[in-house]
Each structure stands twice: as structure tokens, then as C-alpha cells.
Amino acid sequence: MAKQVIKVPDLGGADQVDVIEIAVAVGDTVAEEDALIVVEGDKASMDVPAPMAGKILSLSVKEGDKVSEGDVIGEIEVVGEAAADSAEEAAEESKQEPAAEAAPVAEEAAPAPAPAGEAVEQEIKVPDLGGADAVDVIEITVAAGDEVGEGDSLIVVEGDKASMDVPSPAAGTIVSISVKEGDKVSTGDVIGVIKAQAEGGAAAPEPAAPAPAPAPAPAAQAPSAAPKRDHQLERDLTVSAEVYAGPAVRKLARELGVTLNKVKATGPRNRVTKDDLHAYIKEQVQKAESGAVGVGAGLPPMPEIDFSQFGPVNVEPMSKIHKITAANMSRNWLNVPHVTQFDDADITELEDFRKSMKAEAEKRGVRLTPVPFLLKAAAAALRAEPSFNVSLHNDGEQIVRKDYVHIGMAVDTPKGLMVPVIRDVDKKGLYELAEEATEMALAARDGKLKPRDMQGACFTISSLGAIGGTGFTPIVNAPEVGILGVSKLSVQPVWNGKEFVPRQMLPLALSYDHRAVNGGDAGRFMTYLVNVLGDVRRLLL
Ligand code: CAO
């Protein structure tokens, strides 16, 4: 019998990946493509499949090891001619047995395991179709004389809602297939005969499950071929109904967390094959490893550009915060359907008041900038318009209504953007908010914020007023409902009904998650906010 070393296949560019699972043991008999070990790179995991059907002779890796493409992970012994020959002989012998003796066994109980090497002819039956009846045979995947492994697909049937494989009940040689494409079959129908190779009794046919309906084909004279995975097959009939794939492929897809309808099918009648699944995983690993933008979003990856061809450049690593911000921005931009509403708040009186209070604030050691007023006004608006103080639940089917008002404040730091959260803003006074905003901004710039200091906000304020600009469209910091972008205050001529008067106008841009709230909710929130900023006495109401 021929031996062959098993090597790690092309990992799609990944290197030194972790062995996270050993799926077989020495002595196991496997079919070609069966998963032997599972390896995991930084961002994805994949099976290392058996290069051929055979018996595992040795495994030279263990969980936790690191492997690369081409590394030897073990040896497999090909089940060669010799085995097939002895199976033939055994089959001849078994044919001498009177068929009548086997019949009652098939109806009542499991047959005794056949001695090692003995081949038994058995009928192959359509397994439980999970309630479907008279389904179409859409594909014949084997022919008489073919060697198959247990569980290998023999024919593919298709009901109203899905297609499924009829798997081989045992490893062995196909003697005949008695159906053809276009035929209709039901649970229990005989579709062919297999000469099953029993190995030391281990691969003996499964106990005969009582068929739900009598088989219309000739009465069973050999042990029933009912496969052992009926429950699995039932489930397979109901999942991803639009995708054509066999149970083995579906199982692998589930294990790998792959949504089958994303995989490009190359099999007959557009069926997803194991190779398709591996190709898909390989592509994803490649994309993930290369850090390509657009993974999973169906977007074409960004082209790789060598900027030095245009002029001198200096390429430096991004800070950790910058990388996290970039990932969050992409996630939020792609997941949240944004709408941005604009308005200008007339804060002439607010500014007069703020300036009149500055000296007093300074005596208390507090800087009274517009930010604490914005925090207080936004908190009042969230309380006044509770339909805006919400988040979309993770399941996309529920709305979370909040009875607290925590507001995030975007802070520009040398290491990147940080958003500390000020809690219970509605319950705090202006001085307290001014103090806390200053402390939080300092902590952010000194890198002293704890994870909890940046969690739990209902809403965020991003003020670029001290920097400049007339407006910008901020990105919602999901799962928060919205974000207020504040630009630079400027004096504008405003018509008061009789004349134009100079007023200090603050440009506001409110971006919100249109899945969680509608334009009406956002419009009412913004109008309330603008009115409160226009007359801060309203905060007392
Ligand atoms: N228009 C005009 N002037 C404004 C203003 C506005 N909208 N907002 C603030 N100012 C003034 C302040 O009043 C202050 O002047 P005075 O000292 O004379 O009062 C001056 O600008 C500087 O303010 P500041 O920046 O020190 O403090 P702040 O309270 O306005 O802002 C903070 C604090 C933390 C929000 C701010 O420092 C910051 O980091 N902003 C950047 C936020 C950011 O990066 N957003 C983008 C996120 S999305 O990419």
C-alpha cells in the first residue's frame, strides 16, 4: 500500500498559522477532502483537507503548533488495489449466503458487524427527506464501479425548497445506480446497490432505521442503507433554500461561519462544491491578511499605490488609536444609513451670558466655552424628544429606549480621536459640565482614559468651532443614535421682520441613524436644540 506525506496547502499568503484543531486520529480512515486539521491565521481559519482517501498513519503536529504552506503534518496510507482485491473475494463469499437470512435482520435490528475485510452488498436508499415527497433526481454523481467513501454524495435530489445529497451509507464500490436524472424519488426508495467494505467491523452498515414508509423498490434483502445523519439532512433541507449545496459542504460552511450564498458556485447546476468553499475562504484570508478595505461589504478592494512614484514620501505606522478609529469609521459609515440635517443656532444672547460669566467661572477654576452649553442643551433636547434618545438593537428588530442621558465629546489628541463620555448630563449644572469636559479632554490627551470612560453614550458632540469651518457631516458613533457637528460661530445678518441685524450664528450639523429614528424625530430634536441655544432660559423650564 502506498504512503503519502500530507502537506499544508496554499494558505493564500498567510504564514505561520496556528493549528487550532486536530480533526482526525492515527488509524482513522478518511475520504478525500475530509478535514484533517484546522489552522487559523490572524483573521480566518481553514481546514487542511485529506489529499486522498486512505488511512491516517501518523500526525506530526498538535494543537497550538504553528505551520506554513508546504509543512508536513502527517502521513496517509492509500487504500490500494490490494484492499480492493480482498474486498472482491470477501464479496464473492458473502454472495454464497442465502439472502433470506439477511431480510429479517434488516427489518428488526442491526446486522452483526461483518468480519474485517468482508464486503457486503447493500441497497442504497433515499434518506428521510424531512417531509418532502417525490423529489427530482437532478444529478448522478457516481457510476457503477466507482469507489466511494462513507458520506460521499451519490446523487443529488431537489425538492420544492432545496437540493440535498444522498450520501453513501458506507465506504465501498458502487455496484449499480438504478435511477437517472429526471426520475422522482421518495424517502426509502432504493437508488442503487453498494458493495460495502467492512474494515474490522468498524465500517459495518448502520443499524437499519425503520423506514417511515415501505420502500417501493424490491424488498430489502441486504441491511438497510439508511444513513446515520437523517437529522442533519432534515436541517439541510431547510437552510439557505436558494443555495445549491450538499450536506457536507453546508456542514463545512457552518463550521467556518461562511454564508453559502456569498460563495461562487462552479458545480453542476450551480452547486457550491467543497472546492468553491475553500476558494472563497482562501480569497477572504488573502483579503483579510492584506488589510484590504471592503472585505465583506462586497466592495472592490482599493488599488495598491506606490506614492513614491509621484514624489518623496515617508511611510510611518498608524497609532493604535488611529487604527481603531479607522476601523470604527468604516464600520459605522458602511452600516449606518446616515442623514445629516443642518441648522444655525442664534447664540447671541448665549454668548453675552457666557462672556458675562467667564470671570466668575475662572475664579472657580473653570473655563466656560460653548461646549458645556452645547452639552446641556443636547441633554435637554434628548429629554424633551425621547423618541430620539434610542439605539437600534443588535438584532435589527428592536429599539432600545434610554432613560439616561450620557453624551460623548470628541477630543482631538496627538495620538488620534478619542470620545470620552460625560454621564447624566441632564442632571449636572454648567460649571460641573465645564469642569468635567476639561478633565475628560485632559485625560484623553494624556492617554489616561479608561475603557469605561468611553462607553455608554446616547449621543456625541463633535466641536470643531475653535478650529474653523462652516459645516461638516460627522459620522455617527454607532450604536449611538446621532452626532452633532459644531462649526465656527460667525456674525451673520439676520432679518428680524423689519431689518437685518447682526447675530452670532452657530452652524450645526446633526447626523443620525435613519434605521433607528425618522426625519421627524431628528427634525424635532434639532429644532428644540436650536431654540434652547437661542434662549438658554428655556433650560429652566
Ligand atoms: N465657534 C467659535 N469659537 C469657539 C467655538 C465655536 N463653535 N467653540 C469653541 N470656541 C472657542 C472657545 O470659546 C475658546 O475660546 P475662549 O477661550 O476665548 O472662550 C476657544 O475656541 C478654544 O476652545 P477649546 O477647544 O480649548 O475648548 P472647547 O470647549 O471649545 O472644546 C474640545 C473642547 C475637547 C471639544 C476641543 O478641544 C476639541 O478637541 N475639539 C476637536 C473635536 C474633534 O476633533 N472633532 C472631530 C471629530 S470627527 O473627526
Q: pLDDT of 415-434, one tens digit each?
A: 899 999 999 999 999 999 99
CA-proximal residue: ligand 1, atom 46 (nearest): 462
290 three-class SS: helix
pLDDT value for 516: 97
- How far apart CA 65 and CA 249 sit, in angstroms, is 27
For ligand 1, is residue 508 a contact (CB within 6 Å)? no
For ligand 1, is residue 297 a contact (CB within 6 Å)? no
**Distant-in-sequence, close-in-space partners of 208: CB < 8 Å, separation ≥ 6:** 105, 106, 107, 109, 110, 111, 220, 223, 224, 226
CA-proximal residue: ligand 1, atom 24 (nearest): 466
Atom of ligand 1 nearest to the CA of 506: 7
pLDDT digits (tens, 9 = 90+) for 481-523: 999 999 999 999 999 999 999 999 999 999 999 999 999 999 9
- Residue 88 CA to ligand 1 centre (angstroms): 86
CA-proximal residue: ligand 1, atom 11 (nearest): 466
6 three-class SS: strand
Query: Does 83 have pLDDT greater than 60?
Result: no
For residue 388, the tally of other CB atoms under 10 A from its CB is 27
Could you confirm whether 231 is annotated as catalytic? Answer: no
DSSP letter for 538, please: G
pLDDT, mean of residues 50-70: 89
For ligand 1, is residue 129 a contact (CB within 6 Å)? no
- Residue 371 CA to ligand 1 centre (angstroms): 7
Atom of ligand 1 nearest to the CA of 475: 48
Pairwise pLDDT comparison (79 vs 188), residue with the higher score: 188
All three cell numbers of 434, joined, read: 465645564
* pLDDT averaged over every residue in the chain: 81
Closest Cα to residue 409, out of 418, 398, 400, 401?
418
- How far apart CA 387 and CA 424 sit, in angstroms, is 18
For ligand 1, is residue 420 a contact (CB within 6 Å)? no
For ligand 1, is residue 357 a contact (CB within 6 Å)? no
Q: What is the DSSP string of 135-151?
A: EEEEEE---TT-EE-TT
Confidence of residue 39 (pLDDT cuts 50, 70, 90): confident
Q: Looking at 222-236, 395-409, 460-474, which range is the least confident one?
A: 222-236
Backbone angles phi, psi at 11, to 5 degrees: -95, 15
pLDDT digits (tens, 9 = 90+) for 192-235: 999 987 654 333 333 333 333 333 333 333 333 333 333 333 33
For ligand 1, is residue 445 a contact (CB within 6 Å)? no
Closest Cα to residue 340, out of 216, 536, 513?
513
Pairwise pLDDT comparison (215 vs 159), residue with the higher score: 159
Atom of ligand 1 nearest to the CA of 372: 29
pLDDT value for 289: 61
CA-proximal residue: ligand 1, atom 38 (nearest): 411
For residue 246, the tally of other CB atoms under 10 A from its CB is 26
For ligand 1, is residue 358 a contact (CB within 6 Å)? no
Report the predicted TM-score, pTM, of the whole model to 2 decimal places. 0.54
DSSP letter for 96, please: T
For ligand 1, is residue 484 a contact (CB within 6 Å)? no
478-503: b (≥16 Cβ within 10 Å) or e: bbbbbbbbbbebeeeeeeeeeeeeeb
Report percent pLDDT > 90 for the chain. Answer: 47
For ligand 1, is residue 351 a contact (CB within 6 Å)? no
Query: Does 156 have pLDDT greater than 70?
Result: yes
For ligand 1, is residue 477 a contact (CB within 6 Å)? no
For ligand 1, is residue 461 a contact (CB within 6 Å)? no
Atom of ligand 1 nearest to the CA of 410: 42
CA-proximal residue: ligand 1, atom 6 (nearest): 465
Q: Which of 278, 322, 406, 514 is catalytic?
A: 514
- Residue 336 CA to ligand 1 centre (angstroms): 27
For ligand 1, is residue 486 a contact (CB within 6 Å)? yes
Query: Does 65 have pLDDT greater than 80?
Result: yes
Backbone angles phi, psi at 391, to 5 degrees: -140, 150
Give the residue, out of 333, 369, 445, 461, with the most ligand 1 atoms within 8 A of its beta carbon, to mutate for a pocket test.
369
pLDDT digits (tens, 9 = 90+) for 305-331: 999 999 999 999 999 899 999 999 999
CA-proximal residue: ligand 1, atom 37 (nearest): 411
For residue 538, the tally of other CB atoms under 10 A from its CB is 14
CA-proximal residue: ligand 1, atom 26 (nearest): 466
Query: Does 238 have pLDDT greater than 90?
Result: no
Give the residue, out of 350, 412, 438, 463, with the most ligand 1 atoms within 8 A of its beta carbon, to mutate for a pocket test.
463
Pairwise pLDDT comparison (271 vs 89), residue with the higher score: 271
- Residue 462 CA to ligand 1 centre (angstroms): 9
Closest Cα to residue 192, out of 297, 91, 121, 106?
121
